[in-house]
């Protein structure tokens, strides 16, 4: 959910999972803490940050695993509001075609949804019910209707479901640079290479602007600023694209 890979720092956390290098920039932890400032205590904040870390990592692993299936060498960077899965095409390999790119972009949210499905299945096996909530500002949300024996476990489950489902749905919005924006760009280019970029950016501006307005009406200041910034960024991208000789 970021525009480019940040420069390495001495404070980066580095490890590998399934042979895929992972780097966690310190801004990732800072933004996760800021997003969780409404939680009631330090333990709840720690659980929230851990859930964001796991949820975003699973999301990026979805992208990276599919990249590797195409024969590329991926790596993951967690930074700011999300993360970035990148790959080196390598000698003699072409980038994936339209449907391959769509598959790579969709794999992140799908990995999160799969994790949520596993959690809900385990809840059902334990006799814990789930209530589905649909509407602004979170879109779709699954909420446990029962309290586990351990309240801490209840909070862990709730946060993981929130991150995997809500963030997954938001990522599928056709807005640059979210996964949905990448999917929209590839599909527009597939069916109209001449105007595809322009139309996908127009869709991004309208969608992000509409969501920003919706968040204003719901009193969600952070999400208003977030989607407003993405609408403004898409507008600038369209202006630069046209100035650089793109479709007019």
Q: Mind giving me the DSSP string for 20-64?
A: EEEEE-HHHHHHHHHHTTTSSSHHHHHHHHHHHHHHHHHHHHHHH
Query: Where in the chain are the domains?
Result: 174-243
C-alpha closest to that of 111 among 131, 85, 129: 85
Mean pLDDT of 133-161: 74
Residue tagged 């990592």 (tokens): 57
What pLDDT digit, counting tens, does each position of 186-224 carry? 999 999 998 999 999 999 999 999 999 988 888 878 888
Burial, 193: exposed, middle or buried (Cβ in 10 Å; 0-12, 13-18, 19+)? exposed
How big, in percent rounded to 5, are the helix, strand and coil portions of the chain? 60, 15, 25
SS (H, E, C) 116-140: HHHHHHHHHHCCCCEEEEEECCCEE
Residue 40: both structure tokens together: 């009631």
Residue 115: both structure tokens together: 């994790």
Q: Residue 237 to residues 3, 4, 197, 232: CA-CA distances in angstroms?
A: 12, 14, 10, 9
**Element housing 203 (H / E):** helix 196-217
What per-residue confidence (pLDDT) applies to 248?
Answer: 47
Q: Which of 21-35, 127-141, 157-171 has the lowest mean pLDDT?
A: 127-141
Instruction: Using pLDDT thresholds of 50, 70 and 90, give the confidence band for residue 181.
Output: very high
Q: What is the pTM of this model?
A: 0.88
Is the dihedral angle over the CA atoms 215, 219, 222, 224 positive or is it negative? positive
Distance CA(62)–CA(79), nearest Å, equals 17
What pLDDT digit, counting tens, does each position of 159-172 carry? 999 899 988 998 99
Distance CA(142)–CA(133), nearest Å, equals 6
Helix 151-161 × helix 98-125 angle, to 10°: 160
What pLDDT digit, counting tens, does each position of 65-115 carry? 999 998 889 999 999 878 999 987 665 567 788 999 999 999 999 999 999
Mean pLDDT of 37-57: 92
Residue 18: both structure tokens together: 């399934």
């Amino acid at each position: 959910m970021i525009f480019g890979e940040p420069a390495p720092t001495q404070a980066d956390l580095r490890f590998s999972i399934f042979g895929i290098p992972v780097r966690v920039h310190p801004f990732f932890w800072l933004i996760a803490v800021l997003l969780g400032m409404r939680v009631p205590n330090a333990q709840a904040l720690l659980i929230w940050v851990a859930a964001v870390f796991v949820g975003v990592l699973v999301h990026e692993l979805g992208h990276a695993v599919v990249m590797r299936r195409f024969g590329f060498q991926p790596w993951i960077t967690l930074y700011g509001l999300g993360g970035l899965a990148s790959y080196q095409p390598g000698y003699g390999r072409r980038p994936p075609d339209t449907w391959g790119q769509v598959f790579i972009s969709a794999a992140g949210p799908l990995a999160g949804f799969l994790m949520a499905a596993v959690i809900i299945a385990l809840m059902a096996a334990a006799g814990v019910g789930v209530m589905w909530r649909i509407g602004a500002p979170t879109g779709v949300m699954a909420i446990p209707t029962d309290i586990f024996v351990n309240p801490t476990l209840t909070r862990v489950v709730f946060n993981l479901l929130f991150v995997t489902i809500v963030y997954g749905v938001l990522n599928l919005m056709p807005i640059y640079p979210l996964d949905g924006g990448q999917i929209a760009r590839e599909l527009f280019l597939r069916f109209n290479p001449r105007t595809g970029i322009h139309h996908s950016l127009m869709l991004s501006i309208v969608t992000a602007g509409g969501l920003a307005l919706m968040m204003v009406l719901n009193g969600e200041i952070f999400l208003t600023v977030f989607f407003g910034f993405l609408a403004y960024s898409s507008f600038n991208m369209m202006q630069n694209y046209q100035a650089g000789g793109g479709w007019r």
